[in-house]
């Protein structure tokens, strides 16, 4: 294999990746009616991360200045990992297309950007990945899996903030009306400016600063920069329009009336939030619990690119773990506390740029990761990614910096996988506090809180006895009386405020309540607030939610890159070293020749494998056996059974392991059990190759 596992010795932030679902300016109060949603998970503006690290890609069209600027880190990684430099993206892409892992959709109609179809091997990899995800998360963790509609009425996405703010900024050529993503255009323009050899050092610094910030600019700053640098439409040199937001959701009409706007969901999470009440009931009214969903989401990208990494239709797997905000410990935390991981903290991104190798237990203990539950899911994600074939050294968790994290979130960590496109965000992990449930509760008018009984039984708590003279208040405030009366009644549970008011009433005889801008002079004759105690059975709260969110297409692409190499440096002999659990087919069945003597063994072995549930692929063409092996290596089949002329004599076949090409001679009767164990990791190739005689073949 070309990429060996090696710990990253140094690391730095490549660029600021904006991945939060909702960014609200810090001066905006929580739950403001129009939170500024700029970016969802798997954001559309982190393309700089994706489309830049061309240093290990032999086949990029041009290595732009912006790439050079932003990716010194990856250069240094690669210089420490010489084998990586043999990776050929075009070799992999050619293989994937030729063997129909996936291709652009509707190709006979010239295709559609950002849409991909998975062919048989890609489809099998995807369904293996989904099944293992379900096994690893839903079944192992007793999650409540749901399957919700992708068509979503406008009211739901208005509540979540997507209708107002799930946008990228566009500009148009004033004459031709051609459109561009505004931040891309600015970056391209500034890169060109930087080519001017006569620039002063100050100007260079300024322009470089613009490059690192362009993707983060709010609309006003973007507009100012486009004007300042006199950016024109690149093809025509025409003037461009001011930047304007383009909503990334696909819009449609639900029903025939023409008045019911709907969207294709841009993420699966909302389906879980709107079903929270029923899920809570399903769980017996108890927290914590996690709901999960695997399904498609849709984003109308302005400029899809980078293959499966930036698409318009994609499969997500999302978990929403609901917890009591006062208790984010996790009962199984001890099981993962000692697992090592690569963390790139927010602080390190500002300072050393170095990845810290630590354990999840240490990271929580020193407050680097906010809480046990968040760390637990990060660890489970790491286990998942390692198992499906992501190289440990090429996986890191990057913490969101304060300026890219939503105001309500306590902590966010993206699992980033290193590919030839750079570090790619593949799984987000966010502690989203109570944001989502609170906005849906408010907009739908449905309570989405939890009542939790005290474990130790009911207890006495401080309370306020509110004794009002309603007659006097009614006479004084007339039809406005309801507001101050409601306010005072609600003081029953606000002990401190009530006592402060009573103190002023006692001292001055009057207290001025201001409700929605209207002042009410409440006198000591109108109300008496007395401290008392009451018995309460439990507490009502808005659960917090911790969300791991997986982009399966991105993970599939990363798996394929990490698995790809060429045997003996021969470009014609590509191999995908896919883990058996992910491999599209587990085993090949290869008669050495087309001889009639061998044919009955083909059917016999296929029957045995089918009964054992081991997927297989037969190649009974007249091709040479070496050619047959090469074809199975290309689609990642881990084991190959060869039927040769010894088979009819002693009922044995050879079994070949893909990565080493080593073979053993094994009785047909032992095949099913051995393969099953190899595929579910209950035995290893080392054990098999000491159990059975090695078969020495010159066929490779």
Phi-psi region for residue 7, left (φ > 0), alpha (ψ -120 to 50) or beta?
beta
Q: CA-CA distance, 472 to 475, in Å (whole number)?
A: 5
Site for a copy of itself in 116-145 (CB under 8 A): 116-120, 122-124, 126-127, 131, 134-135, 139-140, 144-145
- 287 near a copy of itself, judged by CB under 8 A: no
Which pair of structure tokens corresponds to residue 590? 């290869």
Among 48, 55, 88, 300, binds a copy of itself (CB under 8 A): 300
Closest CA to 254 of 155, 165, 114, 164: 155
Compute the least distance from the CB of residue 1 to a copy of itself, in Å: 26
**By C-beta, is 13 or 272 nearer to a copy of itself?**
272
**By C-beta, is 119 or 234 nearer to a copy of itself?**
119
Q: Which residue has the tokens 């290893």?
A: 684
656 close to 629: Cβ distance less than 8 angstroms: yes
Stretch that binds a copy of itself, among 293-301, 532-540, 542-550, 692-700 (CB under 8 A): 293-301
Which pair of structure tokens corresponds to residue 322? 């609901």
Compute the least distance from the CB of residue 613 to a copy of itself, in Å: 8
**By C-beta, is 3 or 137 nearer to a copy of itself?**
137
Residue 269 sits at φ, ψ, to 5 deg, of: -55, -40
Compute the least distance from the CB of residue 398 to a copy of itself, in Å: 29
- 153 near a copy of itself, judged by CB under 8 A: yes
**By C-beta, is 77 or 144 nearer to a copy of itself?**
144
- 403 near a copy of itself, judged by CB under 8 A: no
Residues comprising the chain, all counted: 700
Closest CA to 628 of 661, 583, 667, 584: 661
Which positions from 176 to 205 touch a copy of itself by CB under 8 A, shown as an x/- string?
Answer: ---x--------------------------
**By C-beta, is 302 or 655 nearer to a copy of itself?**
302
Q: CA-CA distance, 394 to 632, in Å (whole number)?
A: 26
Q: CA-CA distance, 304 to 683, in Å (whole number)?
A: 43
Burial call 205-235: b when 16+ CB within 10 Å, e when fewer: eebbebbbbbbbbeeeebbebbeeeebbbbe
Sheet architecture: strand order including 411-419: 289-298, 313-323, 544-551, 422-431, 411-419, 395-399, 340-344, 356-359
Among 30, 115, 612, 668, binds a copy of itself (CB under 8 A): 115
**By C-beta, is 123 or 466 nearer to a copy of itself?**
123
In the chain, what is the greatest distance between 2 CA atoms, to the nearest angstrom? 110
**By C-beta, is 473 or 559 nearer to a copy of itself?**
559
Cα Rg of the chain (Å, integer): 31
Site for a copy of itself in 258-277 (CB under 8 A): 262, 264, 271, 274-275, 277
Q: CA-CA distance, 698 to 646, in Å (whole number)?
A: 16
Stretch that binds a copy of itself, among 56-64, 235-243, 558-566, 608-616 (CB under 8 A): 608-616
Compute the least distance from the CB of residue 312 to a copy of itself, in Å: 7
396 close to 386: Cβ distance less than 8 angstroms: no
Stretch that binds a copy of itself, among 101-109, 198-206, 337-345, 515-523 (CB under 8 A): 101-109
Q: CA-CA distance, 8 to 149, in Å (whole number)?
A: 42
- 621 near a copy of itself, judged by CB under 8 A: yes
**By C-beta, is 283 or 410 nearer to a copy of itself?**
283
- 530 near a copy of itself, judged by CB under 8 A: no
Site for a copy of itself in 445-504 (CB under 8 A): 446
Which positions from 229 to 258 touch a copy of itself by CB under 8 A, shown as an x/- string?
Answer: -----------------x---xxxxxxxx-
Compute the least distance from the CB of residue 252 to a copy of itself, in Å: 5
Pairing outcome for strands 395-399 and 411-419: antiparallel
């Amino acid at each position: 294999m070309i990429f060996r596992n090696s710990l990253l010795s140094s690391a730095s932030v490549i660029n600021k990746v904006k991945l939060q679902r909702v960014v609200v300016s810090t001066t905006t109060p929580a739950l403001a009616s129009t939170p500024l949603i700029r970016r969802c998970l798997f954001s559309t503006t982190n393309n700089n991360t994706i489309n830049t690290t061309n240093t290990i890609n032999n086949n990029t069209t041009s290595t732009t200045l912006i790439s050079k600027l932003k990716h010194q880190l990856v250069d240094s990684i690669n210089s420490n990992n010489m084998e990586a430099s043999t990776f050929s993206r075009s070799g992999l892409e050619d293989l994937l297309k030729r063997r129909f892992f996936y291709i652009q959709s509707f190709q006979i109609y010239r295709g559609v950007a950002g849409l991909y179809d998975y062919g048989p091997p890609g489809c099998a990899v995807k369904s293996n990945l989904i099944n293992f995800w379900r096994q690893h998360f839903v079944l192992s963790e007793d999650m409540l899996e749901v399957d919700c509609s992708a068509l979503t009425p406008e009211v739901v996405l208005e509540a979540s903030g997507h209708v107002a703010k799930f946008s990228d900024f566009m500009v148009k050529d004033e004459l031709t009306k051609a459109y561009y993503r505004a931040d891309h255009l600015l970056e391209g323009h500034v890169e060109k400016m930087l080519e001017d050899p006569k620039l002063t050092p100050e100007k260079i610094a300024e322009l470089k600063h613009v490059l690192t910030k362009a993707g983060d600019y709010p609309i006003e700053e973007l507009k100012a920069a486009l004007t300042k640098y006199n950016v024109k439409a690149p093809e025509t040199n025409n003037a461009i329009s001011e930047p304007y937001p383009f909503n990334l959701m696909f819009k449609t009409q639900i029903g025939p009336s023409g008045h019911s706007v709907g969207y294709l969901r841009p993420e699966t999470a909302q389906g879980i939030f709107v079903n929270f009440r029923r899920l809570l009931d399903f769980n017996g009214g108890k927290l914590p619990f996690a709901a999960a969903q695997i399904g498609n989401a849709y984003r109308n990208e302005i400029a899809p690119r980078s293959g499966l990494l930036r698409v318009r239709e994609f499969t997500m797997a999302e978990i929403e773990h609901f917890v009591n905000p006062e208790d984010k410990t996790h009962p199984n935390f001890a099981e993962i506390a000692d697992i090592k991981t690569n963390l790139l903290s927010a602080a390190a991104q500002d300072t050393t740029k170095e990845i810290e190798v630590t354990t999840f237990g240490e990271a929580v203990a020193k407050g680097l990761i906010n809480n046990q539950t968040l760390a637990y899911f990060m660890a489970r994600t790491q286990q998942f990614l390692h198992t499906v074939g992501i190289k440990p050294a090429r996986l890191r968790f990057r913490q969101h910096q304060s300026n890219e994290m939503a105001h309500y979130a306590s902590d966010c960590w993206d699992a980033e996988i290193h590919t030839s496109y750079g570090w790619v965000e593949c799984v987000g992990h966010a502690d989203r506090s109570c944001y989502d449930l609170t906005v849906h509760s408010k907009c739908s008018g449905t309570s989405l809180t939890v009542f939790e009984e005290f474990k130790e039984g009911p207890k006495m708590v401080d309370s306020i006895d509110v004794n009002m003279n309603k007659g006097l208040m009614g006479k004084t405030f007339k039809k406005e009386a309801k507001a101050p009366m409601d306010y005072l009644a609600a003081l029953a549970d606000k002990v401190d405020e009530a006592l402060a008011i009573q103190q002023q009433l006692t001292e001055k005889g009057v207290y001025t309540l201001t409700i929605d801008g209207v002042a009410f002079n409440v006198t000591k004759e109108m109300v008496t607030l007395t401290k008392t105690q009451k018995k309460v059975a439990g507490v009502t709260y808005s659960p917090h939610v911790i969300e791991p969110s997986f982009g399966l297409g991105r993970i599939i692409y990363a798996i394929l890159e990490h698995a790809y190499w060429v045997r003996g440096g021969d470009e014609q002999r590509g191999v995908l070293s896919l883990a058996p659990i992910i491999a599209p087919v587990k085993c090949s069945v290869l008669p050495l020749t087309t001889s009639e003597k061998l044919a009955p063994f083909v059917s016999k072995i296929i029957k045995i494998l089918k009964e054992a549930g081991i997927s297989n692929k037969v190649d009974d063409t007249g091709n040479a056996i070496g050619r047959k092996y090469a074809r199975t290596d290309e689609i990642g089949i881990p084991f190959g059974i060869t039927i040769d002329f010894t088979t009819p004599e002693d009922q044995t076949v050879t079994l070949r392991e893909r990565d080493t090409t080593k073979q053993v001679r094994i009785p047909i009767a032992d095949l099913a059990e051995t393969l099953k164990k190899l595929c579910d990791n209950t035995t290893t190739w080392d054990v098999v190759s000491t159990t059975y005689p090695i078969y020495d073949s010159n066929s490779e």
